Amino acid sequence: MHHRSQEGLDLKEGELYVGFDRPNANFDHDVWNAVKEKYGNRVFLVHGDRANMVDVPNASVDELVALGSHAQESRVLIEFNRVLKPGGILRLGTTQYFLSEMLNFWGVRLERLGYVRLSNEELSYKHRPMGGTNKLLYFVVSFRKKDL
């Protein structure tokens, strides 16, 4: 959500947005509140485990955005691959400090699964972590899942 909030979340007719975050995540902040106010019942916020999205059907997600370092999370990769549609986009975000680690771990595995890195859809921006005082350079790297 944060990477899309830079230019505003723009849902097309009939699109839904599901925010899925860790069990103790705080959904009561400006970004979520603004999106919920704008789109109402087209935006859902769910607490859960991204390595076990049991309520999300196979190949049902058009775009999946995951922010964090993502290091050493093989279970998460398997689950992301399961829920993402063929041709869908996976966007991984991380700070400058973990970018090479994330690309080494995820990039290699995604390539083996047939994903293609979309360098023209990558972006960077300054982000202040909740509770932090300094803004960090944040990167969002995009991959397209192979079409069947």
Domain of 95, CATH number, reads 3.40.50.150
Would you give the end-to-end CA distance of the chain in angstroms? 28
> What pTM, to 2 d.p., does this model score?
0.80
pLDDT of 58 higher than 90: yes
- Quote the pLDDT of residue 3: 45
Q: How far apart are CA 106 and CA 110, in angstroms?
A: 6
For 108-135, what is the mean pLDDT?
80
Longest dimension (CA), the chain: 45
- Quote the pLDDT of residue 1: 46
Close Cβ partners of 117 (under 8 Å, ≥ 6 residues apart): 107, 110, 111, 141, 142, 143
Q: How many domains does the chain have?
A: 1
Q: Report whether 87 contacts 119 (CB < 8 A).
A: no
pLDDT of 33 higher than 90: no
Which tokens belong to 34?
A: 């603004």
- Quote the pLDDT of residue 130: 58
- Quote the pLDDT of residue 35: 82
Q: Which domain holds residue 122?
A: 2-144
pLDDT of 75 higher than 80: yes
For 10-28, what is the mean pLDDT?
80
Helix/strand number for the chain, H first, E second? 5, 7
Please state, for a pLDDT cut of 90, what percent of the chain lies above it. Answer: 23
Chain mean pLDDT for the chain = 81
Beta strands in 11-118 (DSSP E): 17-21, 43-47, 61-67, 84-95, 116-117
Beta strands in the chain (DSSP E): 17-21, 43-47, 61-67, 84-95, 116-117, 123-127, 136-144
pLDDT of 46 higher than 90: no
